Amino acid sequence: MIKTPCPICNEQMRDHDEKEIEKCLWEFVRESKNPVVYASRKKTICPICEKEMLDHNTSETRQCVKQFVDDVKNLELEKED
Ligand SMILES: [Zn+2]
Ligand SMILES: [Zn+2]
């Protein structure tokens, strides 16, 4: 389950519409893969383990991003019921 607000826009993931989810999700994925580039602009807090993305090693990043993508997909499924 996602407990934290969106790491990109700071709104609750549940308050996103489909377009916003897609935008934030892919921005998060992109930033996570280049944490050094994006860290100079702002801190990104991992929505899964709540550490800074910069404090992740490569395999942690991969795991957290995958988990976040899965959780967001589950959120969308729940909404449709
Ligand atoms: Zn967002
Ligand atoms: Zn994490």
In a domain, 7, yes or no: no
In a domain, 8, yes or no: no
Residues with CB under 5 A from ligand 1 (ion): 6, 8-9, 24
Residue 40, domain extent: 13-80
Please give, one letter per residue, the 3-state secondary structure of 16-51.
Answer: CCHHHHHHHHHHHHHHHHCHHHHHCCCCCECCCCCC
Report the separation in Å between the CA atom of 25 and the middle of ligand 1, taken as the mean of its atom positions.
Answer: 7
In a domain, 70, yes or no: yes
pLDDT digits (tens, 9 = 90+) for 37-48: 776 777 888 999
Report the separation in Å between the CA atom of 2 and the middle of ligand 1, taken as the mean of its atom positions.
Answer: 12
Q: How far apart, in Å, are the Cα atoms of 19 and each of 23, 50, 62, 79?
A: 6, 24, 23, 14
In a domain, 63, yes or no: yes
Report the separation in Å between the CA atom of 79 and the middle of ligand 2, taken as the mean of its atom positions.
Answer: 25
Q: Could you give the number of structural domains in the chain?
A: 1
In a domain, 25, yes or no: yes
pLDDT digits (tens, 9 = 90+) for 18-37: 999 999 999 998 888 887 77
In a domain, 68, yes or no: yes
**The token pair that represents 56 in the structure block:** 């992740």
